[in-house]
């Protein structure tokens, strides 16, 4: 009797291991690669020469004046350690970090006196947000235009061309992917000075 139960348990374990540990992952991976190849491969963005320069889903750290800057990262842009700081709005550490970031934005463009958009001075929950709001991109347009020798209107048009709408028209907010926007800037041929 005990041997029969052990054989049945071992057979069930083996069958479930093959089904759940091998067959299911193979089917799901194959389906993803067939139906959603770009996403399944990591949504990689490549340079003209074919080398990978980033992912559309992971924020890249840009700090040169001639580039748009993304959201601050609590994990220094390291996708292996995704996560936020989870500080409340009255936490002294968060207030100090935001104050420092606002000062850095003002220092980068001293003539710009408009309020700094919140997404340029607060980190996202993952610390890897690849997008900023259109307002955050437009806020940076004068600095980027000056650094590249472009008109503000040219840069604002580029921003408008890269605004992504809400998903299905209702989910999320309009956004601009910082890596794609910076690549479009580079494609204009006017490099940072």
Coil, helix or strand at residue 77:
coil
Confidence grade of residue 44 (pLDDT, cut at 50, 70, 90): confident
pLDDT of residue 3: 84
Confidence grade of residue 185 (pLDDT, cut at 50, 70, 90): very high
Residue ranges per domain, the chain?
1-41, 43-187
Contact 77, 123 (CB under 8 A): no
Residue 182: exposed, middle, or buried by beta-carbon count in 10 A (0-12, 13-18, 19+)? buried
End-to-end CA distance of the chain: 82
Mean pLDDT of 112-119: 90
Contact 167, 132 (CB under 8 A): no
Whole-structure pTM value: 0.79
Mean pLDDT of 17-24: 93
Contact 127, 74 (CB under 8 A): yes
Q: How far apart are CA 164 and CA 162, in angstroms?
A: 6
Residue 130 has pLDDT above 80, yes or no: yes
Residue 111: CA count within 13 A, CB half-sphere? 5
Residue 137 has pLDDT above 90, yes or no: yes
Residue 40: exposed, middle, or buried by beta-carbon count in 10 A (0-12, 13-18, 19+)? middle
Region of 92 (left: φ > 0; alpha: ψ -120 to 50; beta: rest) is alpha
Percent of the chain with pLDDT over 90: 47
Question: Which secondary structure element, helix H or strand E, spans residue 41, and what is its range?
Answer: none
**Mean predicted lDDT score pLDDT of the chain:** 87
């Amino acid at each position: 009797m005990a041997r029969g139960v052990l054989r049945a348990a071992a057979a069930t374990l083996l069958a479930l291991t093959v089904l759940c540990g091998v067959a299911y992952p193979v089917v799901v991976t194959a389906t993803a690669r067939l139906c959603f190849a770009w996403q399944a491969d990591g949504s990689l963005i490549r340079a003209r020469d074919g080398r990978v320069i980033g992912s559309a889903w992971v924020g890249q750290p840009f700090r040169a004046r001639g580039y748009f800057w993304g959201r601050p990262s609590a994990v220094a842009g390291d996708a292996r350690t995704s996560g936020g700081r989870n500080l409340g709005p009255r936490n002294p550490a968060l207030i100090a970090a935001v104050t420092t970031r606002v000062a850095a934005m003002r220092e980068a463009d001293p003539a710009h006196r408009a309020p700094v958009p919140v997404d340029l001075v607060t980190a996202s929950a993952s610390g890897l947000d690849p997008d900023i709001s259109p307002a955050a991109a437009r806020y940076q347009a004068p600095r980027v235009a000056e650094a590249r020798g472009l008109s503000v209107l040219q840069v604002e048009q580029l921003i408008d061309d890269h605004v992504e709408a809400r998903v299905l028209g209702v989910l999320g907010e309009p956004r601009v992917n910082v890596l794609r926007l910076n690549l479009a800037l580079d494609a204009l041929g006017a490099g940072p000075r």
